[in-house]
């Protein structure tokens, strides 16, 4: 839809709208209860990186909360492309949100006959270069990651308060991102990222059993490391292991691979201490390899032609 370029792309339920036209009911259970799921994707030169994987995770999140997506994967792809066209940005942030929908007050999902489906695409706001050149600060916060038995972190849900509270805590400690521990005091993940560290030449990251969202970027990075013959350990790690590591970095769809220059931790007395890290060789290698992987994905997707956008019911 030419003419709307430069504005965000907005798709609500079954059509593209202008942002100011897109309205959701105050009785939407996404608003009332955080009842819904979402995915964040990154668009590079018009190509949605790892779109199939993101859509598969959206489907899994939805099924874990017994929410039936209102569209097939093929229809969602078409809606994504319409939204991107309306937005007119080749390098974009893209979010697909599905809430339980509008219904009377009450927790019962059957009160909501139709899920609300919403896509938002906008120009990508690049994180500052210094994040990649010098690294960010990570704070080990007191807020624990949701128990798997309470609200499984595998579900990418609209119920994000756990992570919001951890983020508030991290910012108070002077950090850019939080490292949340699980209920056993083992490292889990960031508020919107997965965490990695390098120990004795091995690339270590908390395993899914520690209670994490299995990040798409995390999977790509693990695959790259294996291809590069870097030893990979998915396991259970305490804070001492992270502090004792040689390199630390985080990963996410929007930020990609981001080095950590400092890990801040509270001491017994409530003061904070920090440990500094270099932007080390493994981190640098994986940052570069990740970008190469994105470039070849974009190239291959374009070379395969429009047919791969074809929609299947």
Which residues are at the interface with ligand PDD (CB under 6 A)? 40, 163, 189, 192-194, 213, 215-218, 251-254
Among residues 162 and 262, whose Cβ is nearest to ligand PDD? 162
Q: How far is the CB of 52 from ligand PDD (least distance, A)?
A: 13
Which tokens in the block code for residue 304? 């395969």
Among residues 125 and 312, whose Cβ is nearest to ligand PDD? 125
Instruction: Tell me the CA distances in angstroms from 285 to 2, 114, 126, 194, one per residue in order.
Output: 40, 46, 21, 18
Among residues 119 and 213, whose Cβ is nearest to ligand PDD? 213
* CA 100 – CA 28 distance, rounded (Å): 7
* CA 56 – CA 200 distance, rounded (Å): 35
* CA 216 – CA 222 distance, rounded (Å): 10
Active-site residue identified among 77, 125, 156, 266: 156
Q: Is 37 helix (H, G, I), strand (E, B) or coil?
A: strand
Q: How far is the CB of 271 from ligand PDD (least distance, A)?
A: 28
284 is catalytic: no
Among residues 27 and 144, whose Cβ is nearest to ligand PDD? 144
Q: How far is the CB of 243 from ligand PDD (least distance, A)?
A: 21
Q: Give the pairing of strands 272-276 and 256-266.
A: antiparallel
Q: Give the pairing of strands 256-266 and 202-206.
A: unpaired
What residue number has its CB nearest to ligand PDD? 215
Instruction: Tell me the CA distances in angstroms from 261 to 52, 94, 127, 256, 258, one per residue in order.
Output: 33, 28, 16, 16, 10
Q: How far is the CB of 306 from ligand PDD (least distance, A)?
A: 26
DSSP state, 187?
Answer: E
Q: How far is the CB of 189 from ligand PDD (least distance, A)?
A: 5
Among residues 136 and 213, whose Cβ is nearest to ligand PDD? 213
Strand partners, 203: 198, 232
Q: Give the end-to-end CA distance of the chain in Å, rounded to a whole number.
A: 24
Q: Supply the residues annotated as catalytic.
A: 156
């Amino acid at each position: 839809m030419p003419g709307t370029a430069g504005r965000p792309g907005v798709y609500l339920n079954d059509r593209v709208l202008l942002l100011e036209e897109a309205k959701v009911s105050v009785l939407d259970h996404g608003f009332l209860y955080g009842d819904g799921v979402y995915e964040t994707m990154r668009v590079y030169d018009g190509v949605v990186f790892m779109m199939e994987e993101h859509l598969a995770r959206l489907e899994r999140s939805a099924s874990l909360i017994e929410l039936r997506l209102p569209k097939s994967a093929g229809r969602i792809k078409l809606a994504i492309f319409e939204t991107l066209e309306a937005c007119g940005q080749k390098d974009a942030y893209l979010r697909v949100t599905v809430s339980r929908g509008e219904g009377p007050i009450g927790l019962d999902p059957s009160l909501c006959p139709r899920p609300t489906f919403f896509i938002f695409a906008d120009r990508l706001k690049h994180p500052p270069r210094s994040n990649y050149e010098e690294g960010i600060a990570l704070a080990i916060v007191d807020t624990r990651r949701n128990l798997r038995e309470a609200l499984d972190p595998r579900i990418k849900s609209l119920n994000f308060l756990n992570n919001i509270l951890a983020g508030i805590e991290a910012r108070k400690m002077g950090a850019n991102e939080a490292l949340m521990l699980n209920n056993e005091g083992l490292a889990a993940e960031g508020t919107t990222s997965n965490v990695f560290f390098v120990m004795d030449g091995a690339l270590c990251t908390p395993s899914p059993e520690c209670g994490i969202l299995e990040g798409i970027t995390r999977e790509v990075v693990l695959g790259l490391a294996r291809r590069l013959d870097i030893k990979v350990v998915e396991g259970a790690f305490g804070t001492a292991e992270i502090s004792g590591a040689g390199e630390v970095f985080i990963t996410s769809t929007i930020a990609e691979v981001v080095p950590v220059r400092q890990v801040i931790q509270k001491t017994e007395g409530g003061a904070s201490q920090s440990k500094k890290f270099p932007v080390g060789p493994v981190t640098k290698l994986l940052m570069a390899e990740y970008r190469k992987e994105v470039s070849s994905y974009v190239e291959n997707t374009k070379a395969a032609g429009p047919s791969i956008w074809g929609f299947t019911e």
